Chains A and B, each alone.
Chain A
Amino acid sequence: MKLVYSFLFCGLICLIGQMILDNTKLTPGHITSLFVVVGAFLDIFHIYDSIIKVVGGGAQLPITSFGHSLVHGALSNTSEHGVIGLFMGMFDLTATGIVAVILFAFFFTLICKPKD
């Protein structure tokens, strides 16, 4: 059942993005930044967590999940360390994505030639 929910949820997010792209003058850069902020906003009252519990992988793939993980990592460290936990835990959960992007991009750039 989670497969169907994943299909619907991820498709819906992409549909909203495409509608914003077509009907306004915003570029894809604006839209991805906007979606990250929306994801961060949805997590402050743990709404996105309950979405992930129901939907599964379909909710972790879109870029909204990036903002969600930033807030989630920051907030989970505040219970131990206070305000400074916001600084310490910000990249706890998103580090995987960023490290993977940097590593793969660097090595593939060294191997491949740019095509135009």
Chain B
Amino acid sequence: MDRYKEIADLHKAKENRIYNSFVSFICGGVMGFLAELIIECLMNWFKLSRTDSSIYMIVIFIFISCLFTSLGFFDKLVTKFKCGLIIPITGFAHSVMSSSLDAKNEGLIYGIGSNMFKLAGSVIVYGVVSAFILGLIRYLIGGV
């Protein structure tokens, strides 16, 4: 059994960690750059306030991510760029979109409706739990 493990380790596909980190740094950086660019374009062209245009920016990114996932080539991009696309809000939209696409055959209620937050539900649950506990601590300390 040990011999098997050694041979298996020899033939495992090697992941170049430095290359992966570099790719996700560049990809994440480009996403951040685009986000700021969209905000400044909206502020200059449509005379929106900074808060409004950042909300429009998030909606635009979610729209693009959902569109690309439903057309089928966002999965390939995610395997290529990994965390560069998972950490921004596009990863959240991608997980919702892909789990609801997978469950489409099971019908409207028990398929799409109940499976939509299969993967992304953990983000909302732990976000709300941690936000409540931390917010309560901050409130009790005082001076918000």
Contact = CB atoms under 8 A, between A and B. Distances in A.
B131 to A, nearest CB: 4
A75 B139 contact: yes
A100 to B, nearest CB: 5
B35 A58 contact: yes
A109 B27 contact: no
Interface residues of B, number: 71
Contacts of A86: 132, 135-136, 139
A98 B93 CA distance: 9
Given A18-B20, A78-B139, A109-B70, A36 B127 contact: yes
B137 interface: yes
Per DSSP, chain B at the interface is helix
A22 B101 contact: no
Contacts, number: 237
A63 B123 contact: yes
B28 to A, nearest CB: 3
A29 B94 CA distance: 12
B25 to A, nearest CB: 4
B121 to A, nearest CB: 10
Interface in B15-67: 15, 17, 20-21, 24-33, 35-40, 54-55, 57-59, 61-63, 66-67
Interface of B: 15, 17, 20-21, 24-33, 35-40, 54-55, 57-59, 61-63, 66-67, 69-72, 82-84, 86-89, 91-93, 96-97, 100-102, 104-105, 112, 116, 119-120, 122-124, 126-128, 130-132, 134-139, 144
8 contacts: A3-B36, A7-B32, A13-B87, A14-B83, A36-B126, A74-B131, A75-B135, A108-B97
